[in-house]
Structure 1
């Protein structure tokens, strides 16, 4: 006679061995990528130089206008948009764009060049998670750098121009948009550079491509005053930043300036597309 069944049979539970490592969390990946960036001796020097150049450019441009304002006549009155130009001069923020794109690219390219990427993929087979962690670090780092740069350049410009009652308040029309666009300019360019780095995987070629797409195309190849190329020009990051900061003065209908909504869309689409393409590539391409 068989023994009576005293309870329901249950399937054996799978147990994790005592020596099995815990799963890698995304926060751990972000911390690891931050250590990599911080360990580069050039990183603090590069970031410090970017802030110094952008803030210094704002100070020099503001001083020049401080001296020129008394000589302005009724035919060329001072406009608030001129103060925005002085606070966010292209001469300084082009440097920020170049540095952000280059550091974003180096975050990926340096691992492929040194062979460290093999160690990384062995430790974390989820390549997409590693790339997203790099993107998160670049976004947070350059947002912080952008906030410091924008605060410094705006306050310095305002303190100089206020001596002529020509400064522009933070709450003035257009100022909040210009501040936000300038803070986010670095993160946008860094993620574009990171995406290009994952696609190209060669340091010099990646940096040159970033310079071409972010700096040369909008100013040389696709000038905004050319009606045949104005539409293409408005799809580029530099043109979107210029529109959001209004660094050229008040727009007119004849010049076919892009809308604020379209410029914000450019800000969003460039990094999203760059990172999305990079995710596809890193998952399908061998190390």
Structure 2
């Protein structure tokens, strides 16, 4: 005589649905098995810190021997925030994180692993949520390490010249957090492009286009609508957030506010996640 339990037919051996922690563990195993991916992010982080430190170390000569003052110009003042969290380091971290995000998506489609993943876990939203949380968390940590180490290292170097800054100074904490926050946002943008295009070359080229080529097309102050589009692109937000309030540096006319840049950065991240989830749910594997 056979017995049945509620929700299960006789003789069935249905497995329990995987927990979200199980999905996170599975995504971590996938990421860890591709050593080139996290080594690229680690190497990019070290290089970004080296770029910032070397830039300030090179500037020590100009701090000790400032250039002659031009007639009618204000005295030369060194901006540790601009040089200590450089745009080159930020761009390097952006492309590394964006590439990592794209690889985690198009890599599974290229190898066919995505079919196995969705066969084991039919809930595609849960799979993407695990990817987003893992990649977002790892790249956010990398961005925070780079921004924090760079800021404190270069300002320790500048302390002997009496031009160093403290993280409690006006605009400094905002700059450190903004520099760190753009890294996971670019990783999420990379994931969205990887889901849309499902091709290595197309995804990386599109990432470079969005992050670095498009801003060149929306510069200048002549047309306000063009400038405002440019200031709402991803890399422009970190430029605004890392401006030293004590310096004369600006983004020109029609510059966004600090709050506007934070909202824009967050909107890019949210939009990237929505696109990734929508595309993966609706398209066949």
Matched position secondary structure for 1:186: helix
Q: 2:6 aligns with which of 6, 14, 36?
A: 14
Aligned to 1:95: 92
Q: 1:57 to 1:253 in 2, by over 3 A?
A: closer
Matched position secondary structure for 2:16: coil
Q: 1:48 to 1:279 in 2, by over 3 A?
A: closer
Alignment of 1:1-287 (within 5 A): 14-16=6-8, 19-72=13-66, 75-79=74-78, 82-218=79-215, 220-228=216-224, 229-246=226-243, 249-251=247-249, 255-287=253-285
Measure the CA separation in 2 of the matches of 1:141 and 1:18.
40
Poorly superposed stretches of 4+, deviation over 3 Å: 15-18, 224-228, 247-254
What TM-score do the two structures reach when normalised by structure 1?
0.89
Matched position secondary structure for 2:138: helix
- What is the CA deviation profile of residues 189-240 of structure 1, one whole-angstrom value per residue up to 9, with x for unaligned ones? 001111111111111111111111112212x222254544211111111110
Query: Size of the alignment, in residue pairs?
Result: 273
Q: 1:224 to 1:194 in 2, by over 3 A?
A: farther
CA contact (8 A) 1:55 1:156 kept: no
CA contact (8 A) 1:58 1:156 kept: no
Instruction: Find the structure with the greater CA-based Rg.
Output: 1
CA contact (8 A) 2:171 2:244 kept: no
Q: 1:107 to 1:253 in 2, by over 3 A?
A: closer
- What is the CA deviation profile of residues 80-133 of structure 1, one whole-angstrom value per residue up to 9, with x for unaligned ones? xx1111221111111100000000000000000001111111001111111111
Measure the CA separation in 2 of the matches of 1:55 and 1:35.
28
CA contact (8 A) 1:138 1:190 kept: yes
Measure the CA separation in 2 of the matches of 1:145 and 1:124.
29
Measure the CA separation in 2 of the matches of 1:104 and 1:253.
29
Measure the CA separation in 1 of the matches of 2:258 and 2:276.
28
| Structure 2 runs not aligned, ≥5 long | none
Aligned to 1:7: none
Q: 1:285 to 1:253 in 2, by over 3 A?
A: closer
- What is the CA deviation profile of residues 173-200 of structure 1, one whole-angstrom value per residue up to 9, with x for unaligned ones? 0001001111111111001111111111
Measure the CA separation in 2 of the matches of 1:217 and 1:268.
19
What TM-score do the two structures reach when normalised by structure 2?
0.89
Measure the CA separation in 2 of the matches of 1:68 and 1:48.
31
